[in-house]
Amino acid sequence: MAQAFEGQPSVELVLGMGTGEPKVPLERTEFVRADQTYSILNRIVRATRVDTVVHTFLVTNSSSVTRRALHEVNVIGTLNLLAAAGAAGTSVRHVVVKSSTHVYGSSPRDPAWFDEGAHRNAPVTTQLERSLLEVESLVDDFAEDNPHVAVTVLRFANVLGSDIVTPISTDLRRRLLPAIAGYDPLVQFVEEDDVVRSLEHVTLNRIAGRFNVAGAGKLPWSEVAHLAGAHLLPLSPIAPRLTCAPLLRLARLELPAELEALARYGRGVDTSRLLQTGFSYRYTTAGTVRSFARANNLRRSVGEGPVYRYERDLEQFFRHSRAVTREGE
Amino acid sequence: MSTTYDATVASVTHSVPQAGDGDDAPRPTHPRQTTRSRPGAGADAPVRADAVDLASTQPAAPSSAGRPVNAGPGVTRGGTTGRTTSSASLPVPVPPTGPAAADAPRLSDVDEWGRSERVRSLARRLYDPVYRYWFRVEWEGLERIPRTGGALLVANHAGAIPPDAPVIMHGIERELGRPVYGLADSFFRTVPVVGTLWSRTGGVPAHPDNAYRLLHDRQELALVFPEGTKGPSKRYADRYRLRRFGRGGFVEIAMRAGVPVIPIAVVGAEEAMPVLFRSYHLARALRLPYFPVTANMLAFGPLLGAVTYFPAKLRLRVLEPVTFDVEPGLERYSKSRVMDEAEQVRSRLQDALHDVLRERRSVVFG
């Protein structure tokens, strides 16, 4: 994301914040480490007078963090972020939030396509969905209280890509995708490039509103597995996660709670609203899975690519030392 | 955002990952960024505006192709990290994106509604003998169904496992060559295997949004049973007495989509699998909408009887299409008007049922 902004000359300053260190080489981005709840953000916003905050740290799969951390990061982190963006005399004019289509849930009574104003039918049963819904309601409140700030919420379908690690990508890399026997729902994916590009699109063009982001078309769950060269692992249709937990643990597969309903009933979102703003996708849903499969094949042959390690003193040297001569000066 | 430097963006814009280098380009995985846009053309913060200044002072990027031109301050002369150098020295602007992967090859032919033509043609081949020789279906007024454009088909619903839905869907496709999308209760989706098969053969969960998309956006034929589960769950003693037509939702959808409603009276489905009585407790325990005990179960045993129809002759009469003189596309329509129209459709359907029954001499031979 920061790399994308760096390439845009109209963006004057890119400031990255995260709990870990950057995993990709960054040229202009000033990086600040924050704690889990991003409590330092308020001071940073005031000090730098940034005008746009892109909020991408929401956790959208519950297998990577504990329940407590999920709440801390999603709800409390968003609370801090919005507090910083909405402080008196703030310079922030645009807030972009990266959410997930998990907010629509997944139930048999769902329409084939959710549009942005659709109501969710499924009861909220998982911690993740509860926290995402809470975040969105915080964002709604923020938008109402701060009419001068453009607020964008992007709801992403399940993401696949060569680098991002999600429960589904983990399963597909192990060549075994858990499925619920007797169900073959239709699902959508979005490529990680398209995720970055859509965030960039709404940020640079300052497009406010709520948008679904998903690759065109839908794929049956079984075809996702087959396209990615994986087999299906049928689980019992009754309480699949409970009865098959040892099996999943043994095979080191992941099927977090929020994916169980998805693996039964699937989900489709209508993306026409974002397309109307002039955004165009590079990948369809099928294209996303195909490109993931290709990246996966490469990975299987040559292993992981070179890993970038962030070294603070080195970065500091290149950025600020007088000994470094810069082009164009 | 400032657009002052758009002309020179190309020489330094390179960090957007390309579709082609998706495998080796490291992807940004930052939890968060805050950005600050340039508030106009003036350079107010020289340290932070490196990229902009560079872009404006070096508009002739192509000439420096051999030399690494770098946007950032964190790079020395003579090149540095491979990705930065190579991409920065390429004066290629980010190409406008098109539907690059629009036709990524697929393995199955399941479309976005869950239909599969392969499964459908197989199911139709298997079902055709049942349609022709078991039910000996006879149509009246098929010419009233339009050959093009959307229309909402509305029929009475009967029989413990209603045979009318597949008969209408298969019949219209057989006679007119037009597929029919059957809008079914969401209960179907909850049943393993059955739900998937239903979806593959052209069933769609009954939801106003789905109906609107099918009728308005795609101009298809959609079939709906306004009685819902109240129709098939009624006992044999109540045969051919139409239940309440829901809340008139089907009229509202047809109004919104601007399509006609075409009522179809089905005679024979009641006798194909008559419901003698229902067990409320079993239905609750099995989470079914209703649990019928049918005459077929008594005749053929509980298992075979659950799936075997009596060979009743099915007669279908297509009634005159009903069009609504309202503006399509509205969010809401007058409730009283909707209920009125629904009631009119219902009474016409009821009359037609009585009419067909008056002419029928035998259940089996028609």
Which residues in chain B are closer than 8 Å to A320, comparing Cβ atoms?
73
Contacts of B26 (CB under 8 A, 6+ apart): A23, A24, A25, A163, A305, A308, B83
Contact call for A220 and B207, based on CB within 8 A: no
Cα–Cα distance, A211 to A154 (Å, whole number): 5
Instruction: Closest CB to B30: pick one of A13, A16, A191.
Output: A16
Of A107, A102, A108, nearest to A126 by C-alpha is A102
**Res B29: pLDDT:** 38
**Res A279: pLDDT:** 92
Of B327, B303, B317, nearest to B353 by C-alpha is B317
Contact call for B70 and A318, based on CB within 8 A: no
Nearest CA in chain B to A11: B37
Which residues in chain A are closer than 8 Å to B107, comparing Cβ atoms?
223, 226-227
Q: Distance from A267 to chain B by nearest Cα, in Å?
A: 11
Which residues in chain B are closer than 8 Å to A15, comparing Cβ atoms?
33-36
Contact call for B29 and A163, based on CB within 8 A: yes
Handedness of CA B170, B172, B174, B177 (dihedral sign): negative
Architecture of domain B117-359: 3-Layer(aba) Sandwich (3.40)
Handedness of CA A252, A257, A262, A265 (dihedral sign): positive
Contacts of B74 (CB under 8 A, 6+ apart): A26, A27, A28, A315, A318, A319
DSSP string for B269-318: HHHHS-EEEE-HHHHHHHT-S--EEEHHHHHH-TTHHHH----PPPEEEE
Only one residue has tokens 């299409």, namely B321
Cα–Cα distance, B44 to B49 (Å, whole number): 8
Cα–Cα distance, A124 to A195 (Å, whole number): 25
Which residues in chain A are closer than 8 Å to B14, comparing Cβ atoms?
7
Q: Would you say residue A134 has pLDDT above 60?
A: yes
Q: Which of A11, A236, A262 to mutate to test the interface with B (most CBs of B within 10 A)?
A: A11
Q: Distance from B229 to chain A by nearest Cα, in Å?
A: 15
Instruction: Closest CB to B13: pick one of A7, A52, A286.
Output: A7
Question: Using CA atoms in the order B125, B128, B133, B139, what is the torsion angle rounded to 10 degrees?
Answer: -160
Cα–Cα distance, B313 to B359 (Å, whole number): 13
**Res B79: pLDDT:** 31
Q: pLDDT-based confidence at A6, cuts 50/70/90?
A: low
Query: Percentage of chain A with pLDDT > 90?
Result: 35
Contact call for B16 and A200, based on CB within 8 A: yes
For chain A, where are the alpha helices, taking DSSP H only? 2-6, 41-48, 67-71, 77-85, 127-145, 167-173, 192-204, 221-227, 240-243, 245-251, 257-265, 272-276, 285-302, 312-320
Cα–Cα distance, B345 to A179 (Å, whole number): 44
Contact call for A295 and B23, based on CB within 8 A: yes
Residue B293 has a CB neighbour count (10 Å cut-off) of 17
Cα–Cα distance, A75 to A89 (Å, whole number): 24
Contact call for B33 and A51, based on CB within 8 A: no
CB B239 within 8 A of CB B148: no
* Interface size between A and B, measured as CB pairs under 8 A: 307
Contact call for B26 and A52, based on CB within 8 A: no
Q: Distance from B109 to chain A by nearest Cα, in Å?
A: 10
CATH class, range A2-320: alpha beta
Of A191, A187, A212, A156, nearest to A263 by C-alpha is A187
Which residues in chain B are closer than 8 Å to A109, comparing Cβ atoms?
186, 205, 207
**Res B36: pLDDT:** 44
Contact call for A328 and B58, based on CB within 8 A: yes
Q: Where are the domains of chain B?
A: 52-59+67-87, 117-359
Q: Distance from B57 to chain A by nearest Cα, in Å?
A: 7
Of A4, A116, A328, A179, nearest to B75 by C-alpha is A328
Which residues in chain B are closer than 8 Å to A295, comparing Cβ atoms?
22-23
Phi, psi of B178 (to 5 degrees): -110, 130
The CA-based angle B32-B37-B43, given to 5 degrees, is 135
Range of lowest pLDDT (A36-40, A60-64, B278-282, B312-316): A36-40
Which residues in chain B are closer than 8 Å to A326, comparing Cβ atoms?
50, 73, 75
CB A266 within 8 A of CB A105: no
Higher pLDDT, B50 or A141: A141
Contact call for A282 and B101, based on CB within 8 A: yes
What ipTM is given for this predicted complex?
Answer: 0.81
Cα–Cα distance, A118 to A256 (Å, whole number): 24
Which residues in chain A are closer than 8 Å to B36, comparing Cβ atoms?
11-15, 48-52
Question: Using CA atoms in the order A249, A255, A257, A260, what is the torsion angle rounded to 10 degrees?
Answer: -130
Cα–Cα distance, B29 to A203 (Å, whole number): 17
Which residues in chain A are closer than 8 Å to B74, comparing Cβ atoms?
26-28, 315, 318-319
In SS3 terms, A119-159 reads as CCCCCCCCHHHHHHHHHHHHHHHHHHHCCCCEEEEEEECEE
Contact call for B32 and A324, based on CB within 8 A: no
Which residues in chain B are closer than 8 Å to A108, comparing Cβ atoms?
186-190, 195, 205
**Res A9: pLDDT:** 60
B290, burial (CB in 10 Å: exposed 0-12, middle 13-18, buried 19+): middle
CA A123 to chain centre: 23
Nearest CA in chain A to B16: A4
**Res B100: pLDDT:** 43
**Res A17: pLDDT:** 67
Cα–Cα distance, A186 to B235 (Å, whole number): 37
Instruction: Closest CB to B193: pick one of A7, A182, A288.
Output: A182
Q: Would you say residue A291 has pLDDT above 60?
A: yes
Higher pLDDT, A326 or A150: A150
Q: Where are the domains of chain A?
A: 2-320
DSSP string for A89-122: T----EEEEEEEGGGG---TT--SSB-TTPPP-S
Which residues in chain A are closer than 8 Å to B205, comparing Cβ atoms?
108-112
- Contacts of B79-88 spanning 24+ positions with Cβ under 8 A: B81/A25, B83/A25, B83/B25, B83/B26, B84/A25, B84/A27, B87/B14, B87/B15, B88/B12, B88/B14
Contact call for A118 and B74, based on CB within 8 A: no
Q: What is the mean pLDDT of each run of 10 residues along chain B (366 residues)?
A: 31 34 39 42 36 34 36 32 32 39 71 90 93 93 92 92 92 92 87 90 89 93 91 88 88 94 93 88 86 88 87 93 90 90 93 92 84
